[in-house]
Amino acid sequence: MRNLGVAFGHALLAWRSALAGLARIEPDAARIASDLDARWEVLAEAIRPCSARMASPMPTKLKEFTRGRDVGGPALRAFIATLGLPDEARRRLEVITPASYTGLAEALARAL
């Protein structure tokens, strides 16, 4: 029982030290933007629901197109054009970028 105070004291010191260290961390906005711009394949998540609505073989095409590859913006837009999507869906997909697409994240965060 005598050592409980020591354990709690060390735990409190560790938490304060961790919080102080985290307070000094700042995100590198330029690096984040650069990383997002280099990873257009994250937009496959935005394309996938269209295939569910159309009941097409698009998921297989999408998987083959993005799996293990670095996909750039022009290549992804060219791929979207080959899918035969309705004009409205195609236009919505062509204007999104990795930096602008958040999917359902905002709605899910607000639901909590």
For residues 12, 16, 21, 24, the Cα torsion angle rounded to the nearest 10 degrees is 170
**Domain ranges across the chain:** 33-108
What pLDDT was estimated at residue 52?
67
Top-level class of domain 33-108: mainly alpha
Q: Is the pTM of this model over 0.85?
A: no
CA-based R_g, the chain, Å: 22
Question: Residue 96 and residue 28: Cα distance in Å, rounded?
Answer: 23
Per-residue pLDDT of the chain (112 residues; tens, 9 = 90+): 788 999 999 999 999 999 999 999 999 999 999 998 888 888 888 888 776 676 666 677 888 888 888 888 899 888 888 888 888 888 888 898 998 888 888 888 999 8
What pLDDT was estimated at residue 60?
77
What pLDDT was estimated at residue 55?
62
Question: Residue 111 and residue 105: Cα distance in Å, rounded?
Answer: 10
Question: Residue 13 and residue 15: Cα distance in Å, rounded?
Answer: 6
Question: Residue 81 and residue 79: Cα distance in Å, rounded?
Answer: 5
